[in-house]
Amino acid sequence: KAGVTQTPRYLIKTRGQQVTLSCSPISGHRSVSWYQQTPGQGLQFLFEYFSETQRNKGNFPGRFSGRQFSNSRSEMNVSTLELGDSALYLCASSMDYRWGVDTEAFFGQGTRLTVV
Amino acid sequence: SQELEQSPQSLIVQEGKNLTINCTSSKTLYGLYWYKQKYGEGLIFLMMLQKGGEEKSHEKITAKLDEKKQQSSLHITASQPSHAGIYLCGADGTGNQFYFGTGTSLTVIP
């Protein structure tokens, strides 16, 4: 079956602009989580959506937001981009809303965002 | 918040050599995941450990969760260039968040 699909793969934006990233989970998966990976901070949890509801949120400013649609596809939005937002954004999908001991998560290839 | 410290930060080994990567948690682990990431790409699930003392193997990779459930090790036997990448441990933490370790970069020299 198809894996997790993230679009676009690469993106260049100007400081102050906003950006929307998309994640299509594996068919049948209802949970989508988003992560930001930077050389300085490593991999950090942004938020998790399950059945169109945000269940958990990491320690990121309100400029970072997301949503999930009825088909489980998720979008992440970053407004008023800053240079420090340049990162690889990864999403993961899983069956359950929580990464429990029996829940495996599958990652997409990521979207590389560069803010100039 | 949960902290996962990995050691070493980077590793360069000759092909055929064995190596071990450690992941130490600041809190008790209730589920520990190991992932591999090729540079700039998504993460590939390797294995998941749940019980103290549990050990799992897949091909030449073995992972173990210690009895006290605060440390895990990942051992690669007879490393190959295909093993190169970044290895990350991950675990459930407080607030229903998922935390990743600091990562270990592995280079295998042919």
Interface of B with A in 59-98 (CB under 8 A): 88, 92, 95-98
More confident: A103 or B48:
B48
Alpha-carbon Rg for chain A, nearest whole angstrom, is 13
Q: How many CB atoms lie within 10 A of CB A20?
A: 14
**CB distance from A46 to chain B under 8 Å?**
no
The DSSP code sequence of B4-56 is EEEE-SEEEEETT--EEEEEEESS--S-EEEEEE-TTS-EEEEEEE-STT-EE
Q: Are residues A113 and A11 in contact, defined by beta-carbon separation less than 8 angstroms?
A: yes
Comparing CA positions, the residue from B33, B49, B41, B55 lying closest to residue B101 is: B33
Nearest-CA neighbor of B74 among B48, B108, B50?
A: B48
CB contact under 8 A, B103 and A88: no
Q: B1-20: per-residue pLDDT in tens?
A: 668 999 999 999 999 999 99
Interface contact B35, partner A, CB < 8 A: yes
pLDDT value of residue B40: 72
Give the residue with greater pLDDT, A69 vs B32.
A69
Which chain B residue lies closest to A112 (C-alpha atoms)?
A: B40
**Interface check B44 vs A, CB under 8 A:** yes
